[in-house]
Structures are given as C-alpha cells and as structure tokens.
Amino acid sequence: MTGKRDDSTIRVTYRLEIPALPGASLEKMAEKIASDQSTGTFTELPGETEEVRARCAARVVAVQPLESTDQPGFPRPEDPPGTHYLRGDVTIAFPLEAVGTDIAALMTITVGGVYSARGLSGVRVMDFDLPSAWACHPGPQFGIAGSRRLMDVAQGPMIASIIKPSLGLTPADTAQVVRELCEAGVDFIKDDEKLMSPGYSPLADRVAAIMPVIEDHQQKTGKRVLYAFGISSADPDVMMRNHDLVHAAGGAAAVVNINSVGYGGMSFLRKRSALCLHAHRNGWDILTRNPALGMEFRAYQKIWRLLGVDQFQVNGIAAKYWEPDDSFVRSFGDCLTPIFSEADCALPVVCSGQWGGQAPETFRRTGGRLDLMYLGGGGIHGHPMGARAGVTAIRQAWEAAEAGIALADYAGTRPELAASLARFAR
C-alpha cells in the first residue's frame, strides 16, 4: 500500500531486475512497461491522440532501487560474462477507466503482459493497491467470524485434521477415519486436496458415508465438527453439482483448489455458494520459489479473497514443503490484513508437518494473534497414544504458547504432549 488510497487508479508494485548494460535503467524499463501495457505499440500510429494518452496511459509513480545482484532471475546467455543486474521496486498507476473492476482485465493488463516484456532478468508482482470501486467483489462469505460460528469456537485456534492417506481410501474407510477424528476432538476435518471425486471414492458416496458420522457425533456430544469436502472441478457446472450435493446432505464447508479451478471457477461458485470455502493454493509455489520471479503471496491472496476465499492454507513453521518460515509468517499476516474492511480477511490455516511443537514459534512470530486454524495430519494420526492424544497434545501446545511456558516444562504433567515431543521433535 502506498499511503492514502487513490480512487482513480490501480497501483501495482513490481520487483524488476534488468541487466546493467550501458544506458539501461529501472526508470526506463518501468516507463516502457507502463507504455506497452496501456497505449503503446512498436511503431507510430496516426490515430493516437493526446486525449487518449491522458485518459488511459499508465504512469510510473515510484522507483525504489534495491541492491544489485550478479545472479539473474532468468538465465540470460546473451549477456556478457560478469554482467550485473539492477533490481528495484517499481510502482505503476493504471487508470481505473482503462482497467475497470474485472479481475481478468487486471490480470491481463497489469500482470500477464508484464511477464512477457523483453529485457528483464526478473519480474515479480509484489502488491496490488486497489481503489474503492474494487470493493464491488463479493469477498469471503464466512471469513474468520463465520468460520468460528460454524465450528462453535469462540476464541483461540481452531484445531483441524485431514484424511490420510491422501488417495486410495474407500468412502467407508474414510468415514471410519472421520469417526476417529471426531472422537479425538477436532473442530474441523478436510479431504486431502488431492481427493475430489475419483472412481474409487465418488464425492456422492463419500458425503453419504461421512455426514451420518458428523451427525451422529453431534447427537452424542453436542459438538458439530465442520467437514470440508473436496468439490473442485475445472467444470463450474460439475463443481456446483458437487457443492449442492454437500449442502443438501447438511455439509457446510468445501476444499477448493483455487489454481486448479481458476478465477472463473471460483467466481461462479462464490456467487451461488452456501458453503465455507477452504482454499488450497497448490500450484502457487512455482510463482514464489524463485524470489526474482512470479507473484508475492500478498498480491495473490488479495485477488482470491476478493473472489470469496474464507480460509486460506498458508503452510507453517518447519513445514514439510520447501517454503521457508519467513514466507509463512508474511502470508499469515497478509490474510489478516484488511483490503477494504475486516470482513474481507481470510482465516489463515497453518498446516504441513504440524504437530503442536511449532505452536510457540508460530505464536511468537505472528504477533500472538489466535485467529487461525491449526491443521495436523500425521501429527494426529501418528501420535503414539492415538489420535485423541494427538489432538490433546496440540491443544496443550497452544496453551503453553499462549501462557509463555516452554513445551518441555508444560509437558511435565501432560503425557500427550510429552509423547508428541518424544515422537516428533527434531
């Protein structure tokens, strides 16, 4: 965000990298991008008028140099050996009149074309600063408050688990795992993101097998566990049928693989959805593993929140994937930073290799905010004393984190946490 909101433009910040060849500068590259992405072409055009430029031309509004590098983000065999690369953050203001409020227009004009510009050795979209007109997008239907309501968890982290193995369980076997997890005391359970509606576990059969377990658990205990079914399809009609099937059976949440359905799929679903939408961002990693390329999560998640994501998976401390802790910490904060209002925040879902041991570090590094879902897979299923002890250990770890007590001390009188530490601590 660049200070006070300017309601007539969309401001996009890019991290650019260019070879430091004679005459090259970040300013010139930024000007070229602004021209190419609004009114420019490669030769003079008789029809082009000053009025057009004034109304639709993009303008460079800031250039902030960063430390240069000798390792280009893209390989550039054409550069002489020993070439250095200039780096900097550049902000371009695109007139709202030229872009409008459609996400497809935003992505085409301010992102897609920029990635193709000649002469770069790196390009990364860092942030979108959107004018008030963009508050027209629906945003999350449930968000943090709605997620808490659905799980009846007034405060503190919501504790969640996932069905394992990812693929290959029959609906009946899945329902058995769901029963164990309900009895273990979780607030939320989800299908693995890889599970949608394969032949061996069609969604309809899975819903029919699982929902009675959820209902039965509620009858016995009063606790309604929120189950998120994998409804993703690249065909929005199929995804809506999946949605309706879950909703008709009393389900209240769904896992959506946002990159695999695309903006169109998410937009279509959100307008018709009665479910809490839990986003898995698989595929996004290719946009962020090389810091010189792609898109920062800060920019990415804004678009998906405007489209209606309620809960956003953001990995966690010491995740089993490649992502460094610092990246997770930034993502967590991004989800909880309003775009237009608190209501458009998404619940951060801390996940991947989590077993409770990371709770103190998560608590410390995210500023002690407890608006989060904490999702354990193997950390619950693989607990030496069983899944119930796995969930208890995670709750104990969060109590210790909040109280500022070391896990080893807190575990002294708590065998579940002690067993987790013995099994999972590295």
Q: Select from 414, 382, 368 the least CA-distant residue to 395.
A: 414
- Interaction of residue 275 with its own copies, rule CB under 8 A: no
Residues 170-189 that bind its own copies (CB under 8 A): 173, 176-177
- Interaction of residue 265 with its own copies, rule CB under 8 A: yes
- Interaction of residue 393 with its own copies, rule CB under 8 A: no
Query: Where do the H-state alpha helices sit in 152-201?
Result: 171-184
* Residues 6 or more apart whose Cβ sits within 8 Å of residue 241: none
Q: Which is nearer to its own copies, 73 or 224 (CB)?
A: 73
Q: How far apart are CA 372 and CA 358, in angstroms?
A: 14
Contact (Cβ atoms closer than 8 angstroms) between residue 56 and residue 98: yes
Report in angstroms how near the CB of residue 367 gets to its own copies at its nearest: 26
Q: How far apart are CA 418 and CA 408, in angstroms?
A: 7
- Interaction of residue 267 with its own copies, rule CB under 8 A: yes
Sign of CA dihedral 100, 104, 109, 111: positive
Mark the segment that binds its own copies (CB under 8 A) among 214-222, 255-263, 404-412, 414-422: 255-263
Residues 124-163 that bind its own copies (CB under 8 A): none
Residues 215-234 that bind its own copies (CB under 8 A): 232-234
Token pair 């809506």 in the structure block, residue: 240
Kindly tell me which residue out of 2, 21, 28, 168 binds its own copies, with binding defined by CB under 8 A. Answer: 168
Q: Which is nearer to its own copies, 97 or 215 (CB)?
A: 97
Report in angstroms how near the CB of residue 280 gets to its own copies at its nearest: 8
Residues 85-104 that bind its own copies (CB under 8 A): 97-100, 102-104
Kindly tell me which residue out of 2, 21, 27, 53 binds its own copies, with binding defined by CB under 8 A. Answer: 53
By CB under 8 A, the count of residues binding its own copies is 101
Mark the segment that binds its own copies (CB under 8 A) among 206-214, 314-322, 326-334, 358-366: 314-322
* Kind and range of the H or E run holding 6: none
Mark the segment that binds its own copies (CB under 8 A) among 81-89, 211-219, 256-264, 343-351: 256-264
Kindly tell me which residue out of 323, 344, 371, 416 binds its own copies, with binding defined by CB under 8 A. Answer: 323
Q: Which is nearer to its own copies, 152 or 322 (CB)?
A: 322
Contact (Cβ atoms closer than 8 angstroms) between residue 360 and residue 400: yes
* Residues 6 or more apart whose Cβ sits within 8 Å of residue 361: 317, 318, 325
Q: Select from 40, 59, 32 the least CA-distant residue to 117.
A: 32
Report in angstroms how near the CB of residue 15 gets to its own copies at its nearest: 13
Kindly tell me which residue out of 198, 368, 404, 412 binds its own copies, with binding defined by CB under 8 A. Answer: 198
Kindly tell me which residue out of 172, 216, 264, 368 binds its own copies, with binding defined by CB under 8 A. Answer: 264
Q: How far apart are CA 375 and CA 160, in angstroms?
A: 4
One DSSP character per residue, 264-304 reads: HHHHHHHHH--SEEEEE-TTGGGGTSSTTEEE-HHHHHHHH
Q: Which is nearer to its own copies, 131 or 378 (CB)?
A: 378
Residue 123 β-bridge partners: 16, 293
Report in angstroms how near the CB of residue 101 gets to its own copies at its nearest: 10
Q: Which is nearer to its own copies, 144 or 319 (CB)?
A: 319
- Interaction of residue 10 with its own copies, rule CB under 8 A: no
- Interaction of residue 47 with its own copies, rule CB under 8 A: yes
Burial class (CB in 10 A: 0-12, 13-18, 19+), 269: buried
Q: Which is nearer to its own copies, 43 or 413 (CB)?
A: 43
Q: Which is nearer to its own copies, 43 or 155 (CB)?
A: 43
Report in angstroms how near the CB of residue 286 gets to its own copies at its nearest: 4
Q: How far apart are CA 81 and CA 196, in angstroms?
A: 50
Tell how strand 373-376 and strand 158-162 pair up.
parallel
Q: How far apart are CA 234 and CA 230, in angstroms?
A: 13
- Interaction of residue 19 with its own copies, rule CB under 8 A: no
Kindly tell me which residue out of 33, 123, 339, 375 binds its own copies, with binding defined by CB under 8 A. Answer: 123
Residues 281-310 that bind its own copies (CB under 8 A): 282-287, 289-291, 293-295, 307
- Interaction of residue 205 with its own copies, rule CB under 8 A: no
Q: Select from 258, 328, 342, 263 the least CA-distant residue to 297.
A: 328
